[in-house]
Amino acid sequence: MSLKLKPDQALRRLSDFAAEKALPLWAGAGYDETAQCFHERLRFSGEPIADVPRRLMVQARQIVVFARAGHAGWYVGGNRLALDAFENTRRRYRSADDAPGWIFSVQPDSRPADRTRELYAHAFVLYMLAWLYRIGGEPSILMLADETLSDIDRIFSSGDEGYLSRVPGPEDLREQNPHMHLFEALLALADASGAERYLVRANALVKLFDRVLADPETGAVREIFTANWQPDRAGGENCVEPGHQMEWAWLLREWERLAERWAHAPLLAVGPGIRTGIPIRYDDPREVGPDRIVNSVAAKAKLGAPVIVVDFGTSTNFDVVSPAGEYVGGVLAPGIETSMDALFARAARLVRVEYVEPPAVVGKTTVAGLQSGLVYGFAGQVDGIVAAIRGELESPDAPVVATRSPSGPDTMRVISPAAASSTIHWGSSVSSL
């Protein structure tokens, strides 16, 4: 047989293989009718290997396969099979040990085999739910997706950007791959549901990609990091997976498509070489995150120059536009939530508090004292740094803009009124001023 196929011929050949061979195989020999779940693996003869643990990841990915096949018309009964397998998967894996989240694997008799929580598997649970919602439209599916996202935040939170890979597991390991699949799942949820909250979460992962996942020198997507997202090896020696470069390229295009849907305008991806109208006076412009540049462009457009932007996020960023209208750099300070998380983690007798303004500066209880330190401590930080920047600019009346990531806690609305830095303009984003 000739291997010189035109693209449409090759696509037809692959689709025929999927519809006529692969899907019937896994819906037949690959599916355990009694347990209503997929077998972990098959022998080359097609006989299932039944006496091995069954991983959550396999179930979720197979459910996606048949939901997509049913949706595309490649396999009659694909939707029904996906829904039946999902009901069993939810029952056997979600909180099977009475703890939050989805366990890693179960025995063939449904007893928990491995109670580890894995971010990669949870990402595929979300991807599975996105496709189940697309084929069925059941509101309960999105409720479960939101509950799973809350589980991810609770289980895998690392105290910095992104998440731990597995719990229990090493606390000094960060991996690119599960974050990529979490990004994929969030985009699928946003696309299927039309709910902006999933795109907001995806935006945070784009920021992580821009800041640390992509090598600033080569643009290659790196795989393994230590705590605080430091590459585990020197530049040029990091592990790089060719397939992941292609996946990120495709997913970022999907993100642009969905972002344009919500913005109702063409999306401009800001990066090195993009003209923004503000000269970048920085020793290495490639080090400046695009969010900092966009904030500065929007603040200048709204309030003119000079202007100072205070962005409350993982770090509290102070970005400065000079009287000449140039981006001249800024200050990076520990973020509010990051600092408070570190305090609560190291002081066992201190409890987490709500981010609200206390009744007085001098707290009469531990909770009020913590809230006072949070509000007036960080307000003082803003005032002190803003005053120093204004002095260096020789612009004592330079306006200040406060902004934050929509996905973070609304600490900005508590801190900004307590700061004395003249008039602080604020909104959920600089562009909302």
Residue 368: both structure tokens together:
């009020």
pLDDT at 1: 47
**Mind listing the pLDDT tens digit for each residue in 324-334?**
999 999 999 88
Q: What is the dihedral of CA 99, 138, 201, 123, to 10 degrees?
A: 50
* pLDDT band per the 50, 70, 90 thresholds, residue 413: low
pLDDT at 266: 77
Does residue 291 carry a catalytic annotation? yes
For the residues 405-420, what does the mean pLDDT come to?
53
**Mind listing the pLDDT tens digit for each residue in 40-99?**
999 999 999 989 999 999 999 999 999 999 999 999 999 999 999 999 999 999 999 999
For the residues 107-122, what does the mean pLDDT come to?
96
* % of the chain beyond a pLDDT of 90: 57
Sign of torsion over alpha carbons 331, 332, 337, 340: negative
151, 291, 311, 319: the active-site residue: 291
pLDDT at 407: 46
pLDDT at 421: 54
* pLDDT band per the 50, 70, 90 thresholds, residue 107: very high
Sign of torsion over alpha carbons 186, 187, 192, 196: positive
In the predicted model, what is the mean pLDDT of the chain? Answer: 87
Does position 423 have pLDDT exceeding 80, yes or no? no
Q: What single-letter amino acid sits at 88? A: N
Q: State how far the Cα of 38 lies from the Cα of 60, in Å rounded to an integer.
A: 10
* % of the chain beyond a pLDDT of 70: 90
pTM check: above 0.75: no
* pLDDT band per the 50, 70, 90 thresholds, residue 351: low
Does position 424 have pLDDT exceeding 70, yes or no? no
pLDDT at 428: 45
pLDDT at 245: 95
Cβ pair 278, 327 in contact under 8 A = yes
* pLDDT band per the 50, 70, 90 thresholds, residue 2: low
Closest to 56 (Cα-Cα) out of 13, 95, 7, 4: 95
Q: What is the dihedral of CA 81, 86, 87, 88, to 10 degrees?
A: 90
**Mind listing the pLDDT tens digit for each residue in 270-325?**
766 777 888 889 888 878 888 888 899 989 998 899 999 998 877 889 999 999 99
Phi, psi of 293 (to 5 degrees): -70, -45
* pLDDT band per the 50, 70, 90 thresholds, residue 422: very low
Closest to 206 (Cα-Cα) out of 143, 142, 254: 254
The least confident of 5-19, 229-243, 245-259 is 229-243
The least confident of 126-130, 260-264, 298-302 is 260-264
pLDDT at 415: 56
Residues with Cβ within 8 Å of residue 295, at least 6 apart in sequence? 309, 311, 317, 319, 401, 403, 430
Residue 161: both structure tokens together:
């950007």
pLDDT at 418: 55
Residue 322: both structure tokens together:
């000079």
**Mind listing the pLDDT tens digit for each residue in 150-185?**
999 999 988 778 999 999 999 889 999 999 999 999
Does position 13 have pLDDT exceeding 80, yes or no? yes
Sign of torsion over alpha carbons 236, 245, 155, 373: positive
pLDDT at 79: 96
Cβ pair 322, 393 in contact under 8 A = yes
Residue 391: both structure tokens together:
């002095």
Q: How many CA atoms lie within 13 A of 103 on its CB side?
A: 21
- Burial group, residue 105, by CB count within 10 angstroms (0-12, 13-18, 19+): buried
Q: Burial letters for 252-274: b for 16+ Cβ neighbours within 10 Å, e otherwise? A: bebbeebbeeeeeeeeeebeeee
Phi, psi of 241 (to 5 degrees): -100, 120
Residue bearing the bigger pLDDT, 367 or 54:
54
Q: What is the dihedral of CA 336, 341, 342, 343, to 10 degrees?
A: 90
Does position 420 have pLDDT exceeding 80, yes or no? no
Q: State how far the Cα of 241 lies from the Cα of 289, in Å rounded to an integer.
A: 24
Q: Which domains does the chain have, with CATH numbers?
A: 14-263 (1.50.10.10), 285-432 (3.30.420.40)
pLDDT at 22: 95
Closest to 317 (Cα-Cα) out of 396, 215, 430, 395: 430
Does position 188 have pLDDT exceeding 60, yes or no? yes
Q: State how far the Cα of 241 lies from the Cα of 100, in Å rounded to an integer.
A: 32
Query: Distance between alpha carbon 129 and the CA centroid of its chain, in Å?
Result: 17
pLDDT at 121: 98
